[in-house]
A and B are shown apart, each in its own frame.
Chain A
Amino acid sequence: MTVAGDTVTLDQLVEWLHRFRTLVVENQQYLTELDSAIGDADHGSNMARGMNAVAEKLETPEAVDSLFKTVGMTLVSSVGGASGPLYGTFFLRIGTTAGAVTELDAGALSAALRAGLAGVVARGKAEPGDKTMLDAMLPALDALDASIAAGADLADASAAAFTAAQAGRDDTEDLVARKGRASYLGERSAGHLDPGATSTVYLFQALAGALGGLPE
């Protein structure tokens, strides 16, 4: 826990995004395999294309709001599938909520992520248990907030969020999809991990990495 502190810097936010891109690209094939079981077999390639486009635009951001506006707009115009508007809205809401600042304390980080989550819900109209990215994101943010409330630093809080996201993703295996292409399969969607919940785990793995919450 070398980088941990009470605030998240702009550099750490950029590192979060680079780490997310690396994880998405490394696991591109796996995400697409998951999506081929219950969706249209493009989640890996779509997310990799989107985050590669994002990575090209991360140099020298001026503030948190402009950084995440760039990230969100790049995703909505490069991903192509439903994850474009969904992840795009997530990052855009983070930016508008954080504002023109250069670092976030624990409360501001939590508020920004919560706004991102609310944006995903508003955009996709999913509920917990619908077998979507929400099923990893919601428990992750609940764990982050609980850790912060219990006095943990951001390293430990982000590690708790990552752990909770994994558990949430694992729980999607037994769920029947009620949103997106997978919902066309009805009961047959059960027995497969949700691709969106899986990429959301990478999002929180990357955050934990950037905030010092992963073992070196």
Chain B
Amino acid sequence: MIGIVVVSHSPALAEAAVALALEMAGSAPPTIVVAAGVADGVGASATGTDAVRVAAAIDEAASPDGVLVFMDLGSAVLSASMALEFRESECEVRLSAAPFVEGIVAGVVLAAAGATLDDADREASGAMIAKNAQLDGPGEGGAASSVPPAGENSDAVAEATVVNEVGVHARPAALIVAKAAGFDARVTIADADDPTRSAPAGSLLVLMGLGLAKGTRLRFTGSGPDAAAAVEALRAMTADGFGET
């Protein structure tokens, strides 16, 4: 499982963002290490970032699967890039361009679902696309318009009804993203009764934003070499309630 590092000027901001992400991450969250604030010289903490603390946080979160680092603004980015020179661990480390809160939520949830560093990084960085899509509404720009229409270039189609009580919330969405990433296929998930409500199977935040409730009939449309296997896998996990009741 990838490790997560959160770099902020403010310990309170970092802890709150992590707490929000943990609410959605299920019972086996990744290692998350916060590096926030700076020693004020008289034994307390001041607003700021400390590259040495960030380096220590990266070493603490180090994992063979890599570490994904989220930063707030300004010196947090400079301190994190400097920390790459100071750290002693040798695993891959990625500084995420994602917006702070959305990035942490996506990164933590995806890490918990077993996503690779590449997938977690790409998905977290796409957080602004998901937010734009939410603001514009379906089909009016942002990610929604980038979703290929169902039925076009499709090599495989399957349907399943959402049976678990809370619908496709963060954890099921993360499982879908992690599962879909294992196939050489491009899969779109849509509400079969309202196909304008659709999302790429790789996009955690867009999927979550759809608010697919219990009873919704999902249509999985796949293209590419593994399309049949991918849509079957997603259909099966949906029918199974994502392991929930």
A residues near B (Cβ < 8 Å) are 40, 42, 46, 49, 52-53, 73, 76-86, 88-89, 123-124, 180-181
For the residues of A in contact with B, the DSSP-based class is helix
On whether the beta carbons of A84 and B75 are closer than 8 Å, the reply is yes
User: Residues 49-62 of chain B: 1 if any A CB is under 8 Å from the residue's CB, otherwise 0?
Assistant: 11111000000000
Bound-state CA distance A40–B38 (Å) is: 16
Residues of A within 8 A of B82 (CB): 76, 85, 88-89, 123
B51 and A78 within 8 A (CB) = no
B118-150 toward A: CB 8 Å interface, digit per residue (1/0)?
000000000000000000000000000000000
Question: Cα distance A180–B41 when bound, in Å?
Answer: 25
Any chain A CB within 8 A of the CB of B151? no
Residue contact B51 to A82, C-beta cutoff 8 Å: no
Residues of B within 8 A of A52 (CB): 41
Q: Which residues of B contact A85 (CB under 8 A)?
A: 51, 75, 78-79, 81-82
**Does B47 belong to the interface (CB within 8 Å)?**
yes
B215 within 8 Å of A (CB atoms): no
CB-based contact A124/B78 at 8 Å = yes
| A79-B41 in contact (CB<8A) | no
Q: Are A81 and B74 in contact (CB under 8 A)?
A: yes
Determine which of B51, B74, B78 lies in contact with A77 in the assembled complex, contact meaning CB atoms within 8 Å: B51
Cβ A180 vs Cβ B74 within 8 A = yes
Within 8 Å of chain A (Cβ to Cβ): is B152? Answer: no
Q: Which residues of A contact B49 (CB under 8 A)?
A: 80, 84
Residues of B close to A124: CB separation below 8 A:
78
Q: How large is the interface on B (under 10, 10 to 19, 20 to 34, 35 or more residues)?
A: 20 to 34
Taking A76-B82, A85-B75 as given, write out 5 further A-B residue pairs in contact, using a Cβ cutoff of 8 Å, ordered by the A residue number: A42-B48, A76-B79, A81-B48, A84-B49, A85-B81
Q: Cα distance A86–B49 when bound, in Å?
A: 13
Name the one of A77, A82, A86, A89 contacting B50, with C-beta atoms under 8 angstroms. A77
Residues 1-51 of B at the A interface (beta carbon under 8 Å)? 9, 37-41, 46-51
Q: A76-B52, A78-B38, A79-B48 are in contact. Are A84 and B79 (CB under 8 A)?
A: yes
**Complexed CA–CA distance, A86 and B50 (Å):** 12
Q: How close is A133's CB to chain B, nearest CB, in angstroms? A: 13
Chain B interface residues (CB < 8 Å from chain A): 9, 37-41, 46-53, 74-75, 78-79, 81-82
Whether B74 and A181, one on each chain, are in contact in the complex, defined by CB atoms closer than 8 angstroms, is: yes
A124 vs B81: C-alpha distance when bound (angstroms): 10
A-B CB contact pairs (8 Å), 12 listed: A49-B40, A73-B52, A76-B50, A76-B79, A77-B39, A80-B46, A82-B75, A82-B78, A84-B38, A88-B51, A180-B74, A181-B74
Q: Which of A40, A52, A76, A84 has the most CB of B within 10 A?
A: A76
A84: B residues at CB distance < 8 A: 38, 48-51, 75, 78-79
Does A80 contact B74, Cβ atoms closer than 8 Å?
Answer: no
Name the B residues within 8 Å of A42 (CB-CB).
Answer: 47-48
The interface centre, meaning the residue of B38, B47, B53, B81 with most chain A CB atoms within 10 A of its CB, is: B38
* Chain B residues positioned under 8 Å from A81 (CB to CB): 48, 74-75
Contacts of B50 in A (CB 8 A): 76-78, 80, 84
Tell me if A46 and B48 are in contact (CB < 8 A).
Answer: yes
Q: Which residues of A contact B46 (CB under 8 A)?
A: 49, 80
> What is the minimal beta-carbon distance from A89 to any residue of chain B, in angstroms?
7
Per the bound structure, the CA–CA distance linking A181 and B72 in Å amounts to 13
**Separation in Å of the A40 CB from the closest CB of chain B?**
8
- Find out whether the CB atom of B38 lies under 8 angstroms from the CB atom of A80: yes
User: With A and B bound together, what is the CA distance between A123 and B40 in angstroms?
Assistant: 24
Residue of A nearest to B53 (CB): A77
Complex contacts, A73 vs chain B, CB 8 Å: 52
CA distance A181 to B73 in the complex (A): 9
Across-interface contacts of A40 in B (CB, < 8 A): 74
User: Which residues of the other chain, A, contact B40 by a CB distance below 8 angstroms?
Assistant: 49
Chain A residue nearest in CB terms to B82:
A85
